[in-house]
Amino acid sequence: MLKSTSLPFAIASITIVISLIFFPYSKSFSQNAVGSNATKDTFFDLPDENLQRSMALVDSTIAVYFEPNSFKMSRFYNPFNKVKSEETASVWMYSAGIEAVNAILSGLSANKEYGNQKIYQANYAKYEKLLSKLYENLDYYLGTFELVSYTQTKTWSVYAVDRVGEKGKANVTGILNVYDDQMWLLRELIHSYKLTGNKSYLEKAEYLTAYVLDGWDSTVDENGKEIGGIPWGPGYTTKHACSNSPLISSLVWLHEIYKNKNDQIEHRSIDVKDGKTRLSKMEPKQVYYLNFAKAIYKWQKENLLNQEGVYTDMMGGCDPDCKIRYEEINGKKYRANTKLTKAVGESYSYNSGTMLSGAVDLFRVTKDEQYDNDAKELAKNSFSFFAKEGKEIPDYYSFGTEGFKNWFNGILLRGFKDLAMSNSNYGQYIQPFQKNLDYGYQHANKDGFLASNLLKGWDEGKDTNGLEGMFMFTYAAEYALLAEYYYGL
């Protein structure tokens, strides 16, 4: 990719690229940097502005959604009457804040490497401190329980859906914790470790990774094949896209961290010869993590990739029902397989986004061209399926805002960005996100808070609860991702 140091020598060759990519999306950039008079300083107007807006959105969110001492996060805030909801954010919603701050730190790091470094120098320490505070108060969601899994019985300390009033005392039994919540958190923990070098983040990430991989269905079918897949949580039997593919990239990152090192980890499984005997062996972490990344990717592609070329929500169709089953082997109790017969549910953008990021990461470390081909095909299919041109405003693409789709779309953007940063031919999928954010920032901005629908704006009659706090974090993360992408051009 073209770096900033190359720009003065290649103005002619990038004039068309600048016009196509940046002109519609940033007022400050389009006024100053289009055409032959573009300079190195004006080239950075867009990513600089993106990063500044990202930080402003996070600052506004922390100021009104969070209690200053305990960092208890309210779910909603209405900027028109300045009232926040009594309802507390779930751990997933809270983790969106960690995601946004990590994205800012990553964007600031890109500013340091490719920009003028002033934004980095003024802000990095502030957001690194905020990140630490978010993790410190994450423990209000932490709890401990004993779990009977497919290969063992073990006590775990993991994160509940709901926050409680005392750290470490949350109820995490049954359906009160889900594997995907842990996956979003461990992804951010690894990202935080890579950004800060804080080993406690890596240790926690590996602990949560061990927990969610303990949920992998290692039971064996009648043909002697491992069934695979991770249920939505220890209290569920259906296997969701969101409880599988979010783990792929994290496993690849762990593989990279331990590459060419001798660190070992226990791998528990079931003997495919008899389908009963529980096995345990030590493996190099670099092998263990990469093999699981490949296995999860393969499971999801085989089971949930649909005719539209995107991913269906989950494997369901339980036969004969969706009850959790157990079996006893040599006097010990283990979880048994609940047979699932069909892929069901809606295709959500984030489930394709995580598979897109996973394919990009797997291609980077394996050089297997199938992953690269998958990524390119999935990007094309995802944009075709989820982006609707002119639905709300001519020449703008809508990605859907019902339910939690704002956050889902942010994960899809991450996938597009991962592909585009490894292959510059795919930047066209990123540009509509920039355009939508800038439109919302200019036209759907109430005192620094952006409407749930950036293109349609606020509907005070319907937005009675106000704005989801995690959507503010989503917009912030998207702006920071875009900053990082444009700094690297």
Q: What is the CATH number of domain 44-487?
A: 1.50.10.20
| pLDDT score of 465 | 77
Question: What's residue 44's pLDDT?
Answer: 59
Quick one: pLDDT at residue 21?
A: 39
> Above pLDDT 90, what percent of the chain?
88
Q: Where are the domains of the chain?
A: 1-38, 44-487
Model confidence, pTM = 0.92
Query: Tens digits of per-residue pLDDT, 297-339?
Result: 999 999 999 999 999 999 999 999 999 999 999 999 999 999 9
- The answer to whether 310 and 352 are in contact (CB under 8 A) is yes
First to last CA, the chain: 6
pLDDT at 459: 84
| 448-485 per-position pLDDT tens digit | 999 999 999 998 656 567 899 999 999 999 999 999 99
Query: Mind listing the pLDDT tens digit for each residue in 166-181?
Result: 999 999 999 999 999 9
Closest CA to 177 of 191, 190, 161: 161
Query: Over 80: is that where the pLDDT of 10 sits?
Result: no
pLDDT tens, residue by residue, 383-420: 999 999 999 999 999 999 999 999 999 999 999 999 99
What are 123-162's pLDDT values in tens digits?
A: 999 999 999 999 999 999 999 999 999 999 999 999 999 9
- Kind and range of the H or E element at 167? none
User: Quick check: bond before 320 cis, omega within 30?
Assistant: yes
- Residue 248 CA, chain-centre distance (Å), reads 11
Q: What was the pLDDT predicted at 462?
A: 61
Nearest residue to 447 via CA among 74, 100, 49, 57: 57
* Residues 188-196, mean pLDDT to the nearest whole number: 98
**What pLDDT, on the 0 to 100 scale, is given for residue 489?**
87
| Cβ contact 76:467 at 8 Å | yes
What per-residue confidence (pLDDT) applies to 116? Answer: 78
* Average pLDDT score over residue span 181-207: 98
pLDDT tens across 252-310, in order?
999 999 999 999 999 999 999 999 999 999 999 999 999 999 999 999 999 999 999 99
Lowest mean pLDDT among 33-47, 235-249, 348-362: 33-47
Contact 318, 325 (CB under 8 A): no
Q: Which of the two residues, 282 and 115, has the higher pLDDT score?
A: 282
> What is the overall mean pLDDT for the chain?
91
DSSP 12-58: HHHHHHHHHHHTTT-HHHHHHHSSTT--HHHHTHHHHHHHHHHHHHH
Tell whether the model's pLDDT for residue 28 goes beyond 60.
no
User: Percentage of residues in the chain with pLDDT exceeding 70?
Assistant: 90
